[in-house]
Structure 1
Amino acid sequence: MIREQLMNLLSEKEEEMISLRRHFHENPEISFQEKETANTIASYYEGKDVVVHRNVGNGYGIVVDIQGKKPGRTIALRADFDALPILEETDLPFSSKNPGVMHACGHDGHTAYMMVLADCLIQLKDQWNGTIKIVHQHAEEMAPAGAKSIVDSGLLDDVDEIYGIHFFPTHDVGEVFYTSGWAFAGCSDLSIKIKGKGGHGSMPHTANDAIVAASSLVMNLQTIVSRRVNPYDMAVVTIGSFEGAGASNVIKDNLILRGDARYMDVSVGEKIEIELRKLVKGLEESFDVKTEVEFLWDYPPVYNHPEQTAKAIKSLEDHGVGEYMTQAIDSPPSTGGEDFSQYLLKIPGCFINVGCKPEAKEVYLNHHPKFDVNEKALLVAAKAVGDIALTALEMQ
């Protein structure tokens, strides 16, 4: 039976997954600069009976076409491979060799398990029907990100369903957790430039203090969530950067506020933008300042299609629980952002989470300088996604 063969083959290649993960962890590259990472991935497929598309989209994206024995459904599996501009503090023996760059979100593990899963599917390609497209995606971490450009390339136009996973250290190895419907928040970057009139701190009446105006706006922006958005809707507005440094006795001429907005429904994001622009316009009137606003629509919310999610989870519960995983957990939505949403706007599918809690270590969340992945989770991810892929291909 092909499913059993795939699972056995993946188990035999667990050490290869770990070795690949450690290589990528040692050699991280940030979004849109992942040239050597892409070369390593593409080289892995050399000599294999596949078609490899390189430099897909707006960066170093790679799409690998694997043709089965006979025509059938087309399923895409995605893994991202960019790192973050973070100085690593893990003290791992395979820590980053690139100062200030780190795989702090698990994309090294995503790539490693997916490469080995792809290799196993290639070895068994005479036993399954249809096409599997392996999407090695660049630049998930930095807007405009890579997913939309890969969708726009047209290489996935024939895909029937798409699936992917993310590692999270909040859950134990063996736990798979998922959300049907809205699963991850949409995310928009915002930038507000405020220009007043500089002056001396001893004579504020001759100036127009941009810092005072900006401080008022930071507080008022919170009323968007508390007074303009339905309490039953998820919304967050954060100002994470207040760029107004200067001498203590100088009234600042201008400054920039930067932040982001999160929402689980695009209509809520639109409401946030409308209300933000109203408040900024009112700031101009109240404080006699000039403003410039940018509201960038980075990542839409992730919507896991209920039919595909139910089918995927049933497959995991039927085949995986008690074998390579312990349980599938129905979880609430996450306020994190993920550009897998771009695929799901056009292709039915789902994005699930895989527990990777380290053993005998303090747990650090994704994007922390001490973030680490329990490498036992690589095999869980490979088997889970392989299991889902066979079910999606209708290979029972």
Structure 2
Amino acid sequence: MVNQLVQKLREKEDKMIEIRRYLHQHPELSFKEEATPKYIEEFYEGKDCTVETNVGPKGLKVTIDSGKPGKTLAIRADFDALPIQEDTGLSFSSKNEGVMHACGHDAHTAYMLILADTLIELKDQFTGKVIDIHQPAEEVPPGGAQAMIKDGVLDGVDHVLGVHVMSHMPAGKVLYGSGNVQTGRDIFKLKITGSGGHGSSPHTANDSIVAGAYFVNSVQTVVSRRLNPFETGVVTIGSFDGKGQFNVIKESVELEGDVRALTDDTKHTIQKEVKRLVHGLEETFGVTCELEYTDDYPALYNDPDFTDYVVTTLQNAELPDIEAVEACEPQPPSEDFAYYAKELPSTFIYAGAAPDDGKIYPHHHPKFNINEKSLLVAAEAVGTVVLDYLK
């Protein structure tokens, strides 16, 4: 059965790449997806499956039912893009100004569409059901996963499996981790208000920029002095809006920060300490602070037992287009697949996608690109697990 899967996927590889390139040319931002879900819906027209649209509300739930009793495995692919102006020079570059598939979600959708088409052809050979989760809005909080879960996308599901193409990992390899594998994320905005004045007379004002600069430096001590050295945590101040005139003391400044942590407990510790520092800022500098702190994506936890099953299955399968199945370090970015993993024992794996020319750019970069061999690798890996799990 796996040999049939591989043969069919290889025959459809060109179509997989064609779909990826079409989607790459027509990216849509999170929560603004209109044409993409319609494209996905039209792909399934006439195929022997059940398609539910407006799940979450722009997602799609596709059920491939073997007609025989058994287990249910969900596989998930996201389809949103980013507010980035593409600078790759590709012949299939984005046609939408200021919007780009700079994270690989076009590849995720393309592989899963062709895999779903192939599983439909093979469904008389397995039992139970496959659920294809086509998810919008992975990039922007609160993300698309929570709304799809609320709308019942996981009803009756036993496990969820996801894969992400990774531009910095070697093409041809599948990589994995067990336990906490990607960081959780929080976002905060801080407005510091003092009193404005003339630059020549600082004693008559209360300088919000000085207070803000103190906060930028002191917040780094949360990681260096409040976390166990074996915990993973990052606090980044990505925006400091203090622009004004050289001889004017600004009344207020606004900062925005990004928090990452490999466990939810660490994330909550950082949140508590940031709030404590803000309170101390008011006491120390006599300013007033407005803190908007968003408890965002949780840390992504790969269930050890299900992950071990996925890895063992792939290693035993000896798939021709997968050079190796190897463990890797936890990944710093956050991922709203974590919400599925909160609900059910789940696993998130990676398909290496480093370009053959060695020009590797990180995800969310204007020059980001992938090795399109990774689409077939992702399809073979996920498809093999599906067939083995439902055999």
Question: Does residue 1:163 correspond to 2:179, yes or no?
Answer: no
Give, in angstroms, the shift of residue 347 of structure 1: 1.0
Q: Distance in 1 between matches of 2:388 and 2:207?
A: 62
Give, in angstroms, the shift of residue 234 of structure 1: 0.6
Give, in angstroms, the shift of residue 269 of structure 1: 0.9
Q: Which of 260, 263, 266 is the aligned partner of 2:261?
A: 263
Alignment of 1:280-295 (within 5 A): 280-295=278-293
Question: Does residue 1:372 correspond to 2:378, yes or no?
Answer: no
Question: Does residue 1:23 correspond to 2:26, yes or no?
Answer: no
Alignment of 1:183-202 (within 5 A): 183-202=181-200
Question: Does residue 1:347 correspond to 2:337, yes or no?
Answer: no
Q: Distance in 1 between matches of 2:36 and 2:326?
A: 33
Q: Which of 334, 343, 350 is the aligned partner of 1:337?
A: 334
- Give the corresponding residue for 1:143: 141
Q: Which of 106, 112, 123 is the aligned partner of 2:110?
A: 112
Contact 2:193 2:251 in 1 (8 A): yes
Moved over 3 A (4+): none
- Give the corresponding residue for 1:356: 353
Structure 2 runs not aligned, ≥5 long:
none
Structure 1 runs not aligned, ≥5 long:
none
Q: Distance in 2 between matches of 1:315 and 1:152?
A: 31
- Give the corresponding residue for 1:62: 60
Give, in angstroms, the shift of residue 123 of structure 1: 1.3
- Give the corresponding residue for 2:71: 73
Give, in angstroms, the shift of residue 361 of structure 1: 4.0
SS in 2 for 1:291: strand
Question: Does residue 1:383 correspond to 2:380, yes or no?
Answer: yes
- Give the corresponding residue for 2:311: 313
Letter in 1 for 2:63: D
Q: Distance in 2 between matches of 1:365 and 1:285?
A: 41
Contact 1:26 1:97 in 2 (8 A): yes
Q: Distance in 1 between matches of 2:170 and 2:282?
A: 51
Q: Distance in 2 between matches of 1:317 and 1:137?
A: 28
Q: Distance in 1 between matches of 2:92 and 2:35?
A: 17
SS in 2 for 1:345: helix
SS in 2 for 1:93: coil
Q: Distance in 2 between matches of 1:157 and 1:203?
A: 66
Give, in angstroms, the shift of residue 391 of structure 1: 2.1
Give, in angstroms, the shift of residue 161 of structure 1: 0.6
Per-residue displacement from partner, 1:129-181 (whole Å, max 9, x unpaired)?
10100000000000011011111112312100110101112122211111111
Identical residues among aligned pairs (%): 48
Give, in angstroms, the shift of residue 248 of structure 1: 1.1
Count of residue pairs brought into register by the alignment: 391
Q: Which of 149, 174, 179 is the aligned partner of 1:181?
A: 179
Q: Which of 223, 226, 239 is the aligned partner of 1:225?
A: 223
Q: Distance in 1 between matches of 2:200 and 2:269?
A: 41
TM-score using structure 1 length: 0.97
Contact 1:161 1:392 in 2 (8 A): no
